[in-house]
Structure 1
Amino acid sequence: MKVETVDVPIDHYIDGKRVAGSAGFEVRTPIDNSVLGTCAAANKDLVDRAVGAAGVAFHPWAQAGAVARGAVLRRFAQRIRANKAALSIVESVDNGGLRHAIAAHIVERSAQNIEYFAARAEHIGGEAVSGSTNTDVVSYEPAGVAALITPWNGPLMLSTWKLGPALAAGNTVVLKPPELAPLSCSLLASLAEEAGVPPGVFNVVHGDGSVTGQALADHPGISRISFTGSPQTGRKVATAAAANLVPVSLELGGKSPFVVFASADLDAAAATAARQYFNAGQVCLAATRILAERSIAGPLLEKICEKVGAMRVGDPRDERTSIGPLISARQFERVTGFVDRARAQGAEVLFGGRQHSAGELYFEPTLIAPVSQESEIVQNEVFGPVLTWQTFDEEAEAIALANDTTYGLAAVIFTGDAAQAERAGRAIVAGTVWVNSFFVRNLAAPFGGFRKSGVGVEGGNHSFDFYCNVKNLSIDYVSFQRGASSTLTRLQ
Structure 2
Amino acid sequence: MSAGTHENTAKVAGVEVSTDHYIGGERVPSRERFEVISPMSCEPIAYVSRGGEEEADRAVRAAKEAFPRWASLGPEGRGTYMRRLADLIDENVESLAAVECEDMAMLLRSLRARVIHRGARNFRAYAGLAASYEERDWRSQGTWNRVQRMPAGPAATITPWNAPFMLSTWKVAPALAAGCTVILKPAEWAPLSASLLADLTEEAGFPPGVFNVLQGMGEEAGAALVAHPMVRRVSFTGSPETGRLIGQAAARNLVPFTAEMGGKGPLIVFEDADLEAAARKAAGQYDDAGQVCLAGTRLLVQRSVAREFLELFDRFADEHVLGDPRDERTTISPLIHPDHLKRVEGFVERARAEGHEVLRGGRRSEVGPLFYEPTLIRPKSNDAEIVQREVFGPVLTIQEFEDEAEAVSLANSTEYGLSAVIYTSSLGRADRVGRMVRAGVVWVNTFLVRDLTAPFGGMGISGIGREGGDYALDFYSDLKTLQIQEGSTR
TM over 0.5: yes
Alignment of 1:290-305 (within 5 A): 290-305=299-314
Identity of aligned residues (%): 52
Q: Once the two structures are superposed, what CA deviation does each residue of 1:252-300 show, in whole Å capped at 9, x if it has no partner?
A: 0201100000000011101111121111101111110000001111111
- Once residues 106 and 202 of structure 2 are traced to their aligned partners in structure 1, the CA distance between those partners, rounded to angstroms, is 26
The alignment status of 1:166 with 2:175, answered yes or no, reads yes
Match of 1:450 in 2: 459
- Once residues 299 and 138 of structure 2 are traced to their aligned partners in structure 1, the CA distance between those partners, rounded to angstroms, is 47
The one-letter code of the counterpart of 1:412 is: V
Match of 2:475 in 1: 466
Alignment of 1:235-384 (within 5 A): 235-384=244-393
The one-letter code of the counterpart of 1:223 is: R
Alignment of 1:79-478 (within 5 A): 79-478=88-487
CA contact (8 A) 2:103 2:190 kept: yes
Q: Once the two structures are superposed, what CA deviation does each residue of 1:203-234 show, in whole Å capped at 9, x if it has no partner?
A: 00100100000000100010000000000000
The one-letter code of the counterpart of 2:72 is: Q
CA contact (8 A) 1:326 1:332 kept: yes
Match of 2:7 in 1: none
- Once residues 43 and 174 of structure 1 are traced to their aligned partners in structure 2, the CA distance between those partners, rounded to angstroms, is 13
CA contact (8 A) 1:125 1:139 kept: no
Which of 15, 20, 35 is the aligned partner of 2:24? 15
Secondary structure in 1 matching 2:296: coil
Show structure 1 runs of 5+ residues with no match: 482-492
The one-letter code of the counterpart of 1:319 is: E
Secondary structure in 2 matching 1:238: helix
CA contact (8 A) 1:22 1:43 kept: no
The one-letter code of the counterpart of 2:290 is: G
- Once residues 136 and 417 of structure 1 are traced to their aligned partners in structure 2, the CA distance between those partners, rounded to angstroms, is 46
Structure 1 residue 5: deviation in Å?
1.1
CA contact (8 A) 2:22 2:28 kept: yes
The one-letter code of the counterpart of 1:337 is: G
Match of 1:488 in 2: none
Secondary structure in 2 matching 1:288: strand
Structure 1 residue 322: deviation in Å?
0.5
Q: Once the two structures are superposed, what CA deviation does each residue of 1:156-214 show, in whole Å capped at 9, x if it has no partner?
A: 01000011100011110000011000001111100111011111000001001000000
Structure 1 residue 130: deviation in Å?
2.7
Secondary structure in 1 matching 2:56: helix
- Once residues 154 and 249 of structure 1 are traced to their aligned partners in structure 2, the CA distance between those partners, rounded to angstroms, is 19
CA contact (8 A) 2:377 2:395 kept: yes
Secondary structure in 1 matching 2:132: coil
CA RMSD in angstroms comes to 0.9
Q: Once the two structures are superposed, what CA deviation does each residue of 1:397-416 show, in whole Å capped at 9, x if it has no partner?
A: 00000000000000000001
CA contact (8 A) 2:177 2:473 kept: no
Q: Once the two structures are superposed, what CA deviation does each residue of 1:304-361 show, in whole Å capped at 9, x if it has no partner?
A: 1111100101111111110101111111011111111111111111111111111111
The one-letter code of the counterpart of 1:390 is: Q
CA contact (8 A) 1:169 1:467 kept: yes
Secondary structure in 2 matching 1:8: strand
The one-letter code of the counterpart of 1:118 is: A
- Once residues 131 and 322 of structure 1 are traced to their aligned partners in structure 2, the CA distance between those partners, rounded to angstroms, is 60
Secondary structure in 2 matching 1:147: strand
- 1:125–1:23 Cα change, 3 Å: farther
TM-score by length of 2: 0.97
The one-letter code of the counterpart of 1:153 is: N
Structure 1 residue 72: deviation in Å?
0.7
TM-score by length of 1: 0.97
- Once residues 134 and 258 of structure 1 are traced to their aligned partners in structure 2, the CA distance between those partners, rounded to angstroms, is 52
Match of 1:490 in 2: none
